[in-house]
Structures are given as structure tokens and as C-alpha cells.
Chain A
Amino acid sequence: MRRKILITGGSSGIGLALANRLSARHDVMVTGSRDRSKITEVFSPNLIYVQASQSDPKAAVKIIAEALLKAGWVKLDNVVLNAGTGFAVKNAIDDVERVRQTIDINSTATILLSRTLYPWLAKAEGTLTIVGSVAHKGQALFPVYAASKGALHGFVRALRSEWRGRVAVQILHPGPTKTDMHAKAGHDAGRLHSIFINPSSMAAMMEYAMSSKRSPLSLSFLKYYLGGSIMGKSL
């Protein structure tokens, strides 16, 4: 079956790798805050791109809903809320403006999108996949980032229970992945970065996790070394 799939944060990294992978067999719309011309990674010509900055969650929700209507998409089989940002800080003291930005982009926009996209998902009896992080339990290097992802963990736990039988809701917690995120976060992982998981392998693990509909799932080294990126059911 050809699916209709929406992926936020699909202008780079994990989201784009997942979108490229799925675009061969499905219709995929991706979002990002940057202009289309600023996308530097491989971008499948089959993808539909929507520029929607989640720094203003309410505006982003409106732009995305309008884009769906404009494209004539009346249902969504899969929604992957993956857009995210984070900043490394010293002494676990975040900057107030960055607290707001991180919570807006990672938590509030994700929650508002879940709410607004409900009719599309319900119509397809679809799956809502939310991207957390292994940091969701708390990490001194990025306290607010961890908090924003912890929020998503509790959110999914409640919503998965509420929507059972209507829309599957799951949270996936990726482990360290080789994307621009670490450089953007102002965190130099040094030599460690080379052992991080490739975005394409992470995308494979995500696709299999999406088709399993299980939650919560941690997609980190353990799963990877156990063959998580080569074994699983595709969507």
C-alpha cells in the first residue's frame, strides 16, 4: 500500500534520511525551518517540502495544515514528529532565550501538531511517531533539551493510552547519530563522533520501529549492533 507520510525536521539529518528512504514507495511531505534552497544533503525529488519554523508553534501548525489541504491530502498513514534542536551548556545553566526556543520547537510544536493532525491520522487509522532521545531521562550537558524530550516521553505515554484503537502513538529514542545536530548544539563529541550511528542506519531502525508500532523504543547502539538496521518489517 502506498502511504501518505508527513515528517517534520526533514531538511537534514535523521528526518531527511528517513524521508529519502520512504519516498521510493510512499508519498512523503517533509518540513524544516530553512528555505528549500538551503538544503545541502541529498534530497529525493519525490519529496514535497514545506518551510515551517517551529520557533512559532502555532504558526507552524497552521502552515503545515494548509500545506496538507493544498496538496489534497485528506489522511495521513504516518506522521513522524522529528524536528528538534538543542544546545550544550556549561554548569547545567541554560540561557533563558534558549530554554524558550528549545521547548517551543521540541515540545510545544510537537504537541500542537499532534492535536491538529488528529483528524488526518484518525481517518487512516494511522501511526503517530514522536522522536525523543536517549537523553530523555536527564543529561547535565543539555538540561533543557533533556527536559523537552522527557516531556515528549510522558506525553506519548498518556496519548498512546488515550488513542488506543484509533491511532497508534509511539515514541522512539535515538541514540547518538552522525548528523549536524552536535555541531549546531555547540557540542564537540570529538573522536566519539566517528562511532555514532549513520543517519541512514537510524532511518532503517526507525522504519522498522514504525511498522512495529511499539512504544517506547530505544534505538541506540545495542539495537544497532544486534542488527536493528537490517532486520525488520518495512512499512
Chain B
Amino acid sequence: MRALVTGGSAGLGQALCARLLADGFHVTNLDRDLPDQASTAEYVRCDLSSRDAVDKALMTLTSSDGFDLVIFNAGISATGKFEEISTSSHARIIAVNAEAPISLCAGLMKAGKIDNGARVGFVSSLSHFTGYPGAASYAASKDALAVYAKAVRKVWQKQLGIKVTVVFPGPLKTDHAARHAPDGADAEKRMAPNDAAKLILRDIKRGKAHSMPGVAARIFAFLGQIAPKVMTFAMKKLIYSKLDKTVAD
């Protein structure tokens, strides 16, 4: 069994790789940086903000056997007032979070390297349900993934038996989340990446359309669906009005 995980060198991606390795998968980790911890996963270096790098990675990935499980997890963020974040940062967010995973997925599919019956996961964000004032381009990029997954899901399942899952993680205890949360936000309420990875993999293997690891994530998604405007307002109070810094990865 062969798995591909993007952004597997840290945070949630690293936890996903570790679990897949323990499950006996041959794992390929596509990341810009070397892994934080030693890992037996195969490492393919790729800066997802560069089209040349993505093309090269696609050449490498399509020159070996196909994958049974692929998780597009890598992502960056920029938080702050929209008009105070540079155009380059906004462009990078769309490139890394939306364009690169969709290009990689489409490229692998075109080359027939996502095997029949495989599982594909896209890590989106709960902001798909709640809105995310203070991270408008991040929200845009994550919505692109959720909608792309929804667009392809039925056809791929019917014709190739490939099941596509969108993952909507809530706040995780990763370096990424800590950098972008307002100061003083309570880290203890966040889920450990390892626990999230377990739930996410279970859902992806089962081929569920959505994966919302944890009760908090499910409550947020539910509230966002029944009262979208109220939720966006709440997010503004919770996050935007407390933003004291502009942070771009």
C-alpha cells in the first residue's frame, strides 16, 4: 500500500505520516522542509509555491507506482487585516493552498497514478462553515479545496471507485495554529495533531465525504450551517477584533 502526504514534515502532516507508516504503508512525504523528526517516509522536496517545483515533483511522483491513499495537507496562512497583508502573501496563499494541491491531484489523475479504489483527502478548514475575517485569502484557498473535492467526488467514485474526503479540522496544537491565533488564545482547548490524525485517517479510509475531527469541529460546522451570518459575526468578534499583528508564513 502506497500513500502520499503533502506537508508531512511537521504538525498534522507529520502525525498522518507516522500513523500511515505504523499501518504498514509505504509513505511519500512531499514538503519544502526536511522532517522535524527522523522518519522512514520517503522524502520528496517541493516548494509548493513554485510551479517549476510542482512540475518536477509531478514528474518524480508519476515515474513510480500509483498511490492508494493521498492526503493534500500542506498549507500556509496569513492573518491580519486584509488590506495590510501584501499582495505577494495573498498570491502565495492561493498558490500553495489551492493551486498546488489541485494541480498535483489533477496531474496524478491524468497520469493514472491515483489507483482505482484509492482514497483522497483534502485538508480544508472549518472556515468553510464559519467564515474567517482576518484571513480572507486563506479562507478562499480552503474553500477552493472543499468545492473542488465536492465537484469531483461523485464522478471519480462512480468511474474509478476513488473516494474523496474533505477534512475540516478545528484548532490544532501545532506551531502553525499558535502563530496565527490572537495572543492569549487558549492552547489547551486545541486538539493534539496525533489524535486528529487518527480520526481523519479513519474517515478517509472509510471514504466519508467529510471528516470533522473532534466535537468542537462538529459543533462549529453545525452552527455555521444553520446560522452562517451569525457565525461569521462571532468569528469577527473572536478573532478579527483581537488581531494585534499581521503574520504571514
- CB neighbours (8 Å) of A137 from chain B are 147, 150
Interchain nearest-CB distance for B35 vs A (Å): 27
- CB neighbours (8 Å) of B99 from chain A are 99-100, 103-104, 108
CA distance A116 to B86 in the complex (A): 9
In the complex the two chains form, is B133's CB within 8 Å of A107's CB? no
Interface flags for A217-230 (1: CB within 8 Å of B; 0: not) read 00000000000000
Interchain nearest-CB distance for A118 vs B (Å): 4
- CB neighbours (8 Å) of B143 from chain A are 150-151, 153-155
Chain A interface SS verdict (over half): helix
CA distance A146 to B219 in the complex (A): 27
Please provide the chain B residues from 168 to 199 with a CB less than 8 Å away from any CB of chain A in the complex.
none
Please provide the chain A residues from 185 to 222 with a CB less than 8 Å away from any CB of chain B in the complex.
none
Q: What number of A-B contacts does a CB cutoff of 8 Å give?
A: 158
Choose one: A92, A95, A148; the contact of B144 (CB below 8 Å). Answer: A148
In the complex, what residue of chain B is closest to A106 when comparing beta carbons?
A: B144
In the complex, what residue of chain A is closest to B154 when comparing beta carbons?
A: A140
Indicate whether B163 reaches chain A with its CB closer than 8 angstroms. no
CA distance A136 to B150 in the complex (A): 10
Interchain nearest-CB distance for B158 vs A (Å): 10
- CB neighbours (8 Å) of B134 from chain A are 158, 162
In the complex the two chains form, is A93's CB within 8 Å of B110's CB? yes
In the complex, what residue of chain B is closest to A115 when comparing beta carbons?
A: B87
Choose one: A116, A150, A161, A162; the contact of B147 (CB below 8 Å). Answer: A150
The residues of A with any CB-CB pair to B shorter than 8 Å are 57-58, 61, 91-96, 99-100, 103-104, 107-108, 111-112, 114-116, 118, 136-140, 142-144, 146-155, 157-159, 161-163
